[in-house]
Amino acid sequence: MQSVYRTRTEEETIQLGERLGAEWKTPQIVLLIGNLGAGKTTLAKGIAAGAGAARPEDVSSPTFPLIHEYGDPVKVYHIDLYRLETRAEVESLGLSEIFEKDALVLMEWAERFPELLPKERIEIRLRAIDGEREIELLSKAS
């Protein structure tokens, strides 16, 4: 599966995320791939809202805490690997246990550690193009 979307505003990006979050069945691993400022966390706000786990305004970047959990019970894990340098640091987060949970797992900067990721996942590539965001979804399977 491959789909490409374009959004012009932060609100449109959140709305797209809400549609996607409402559609996806759990468990699901979703990689959010893009440069700094590409809109990864903005899209995550919508996905968490669409999954019924949090309001968009309650979702923030997990750059410093590394993992945010949303919902009760947890429906969405939002993980950021930007500050991690080694495989050992990533493994210390307990990702294998998180991947087994019945939840959406949103991961920023996870493409830096492909050997630690499940083969079945959705990759979302975000790019800024001519004042818009291009958001490309790709399903990966084993």
Are 54 and 48 in contact by the 8 Å Cβ rule? The answer is yes
Q: What is the pTM for the complete model shown?
A: 0.94
Provide the 10 A C-beta neighbour count for residue 89: 13
From start to end of the chain, where are the E strands?
Answer: 2-7, 28-33, 67-70, 76-80, 104-108, 121-129, 132-140
Provide the 10 A C-beta neighbour count for residue 41: 19
Domains of the chain (ranges; CATH) run 7-103 (3.40.50.300)
Mean pLDDT by 10 residues, the chain (142 residues): 91 97 95 94 97 96 93 96 94 94 96 93 94 92 61
Q: What is the C-alpha to C-alpha distance for residues 27 and 86, in angstroms, rounded to an integer? A: 26
